[in-house]
Amino acid sequence: MADTPQAIEVNCETGVVTTRDLTADEIAAQAVAAQAAADQKAAAEAEAAKVAADKAAAQAKLAALGLTADEIAALSK
């Protein structure tokens, strides 16, 4: 790809498609949006990991009480 980030513009009125270099403001704005998305994704993954860990801990405690694997599985059906 080109050294300078580029953008495609589709003019809906004329049908003309042009490719141009991004402005500095556009590059900065996209970096901000990317960081926001990365933060949101990290939060979602942390939440999923916590839920998985809590589930495994709960199953271990139930097994320690004497429940069989089938009985533990039945609790979540």
Partner 1 sequence: MTKGPTLIASNTVGSGTPTNITFSSIPQTYTDLLVKVSLRGTQTPNHYLGWHMDINSSTSNFTNLYLQGGGSGTPGSGSSAQYMGAIPGGGGTANTFSNSEIYIPNYTSSNYKSFSVDSTGEGNETLAFANFIAGLWSNTAAITSLTIYPDYNSGVGIAQYSTFTLYGISNS
- The residues binding partner 1 (CB under 8 A) are 1-3, 5-15, 17, 19, 22, 26-27, 29-34, 36-38, 40-41, 43-45, 47-48, 51-52
Give the nearer residue to partner 1 in terms of CB position, either 33 or 60.
Answer: 33
Element (H, E) at 74: helix 69-75
**Least distance in angstroms from the C-beta of 73 to partner 1:** 15
* 30-48 b/e (C-beta count within 10 Å ≥ 16 → b): eeeeeeeeeeeeeeeeeee
Distance of closest approach, residue 49 Cβ to partner 1, in angstroms: 8
The Cα–Cα gap between 9 and 72 comes to 56
For residue 56, the minimal CB distance to partner 1 (Å) is 13
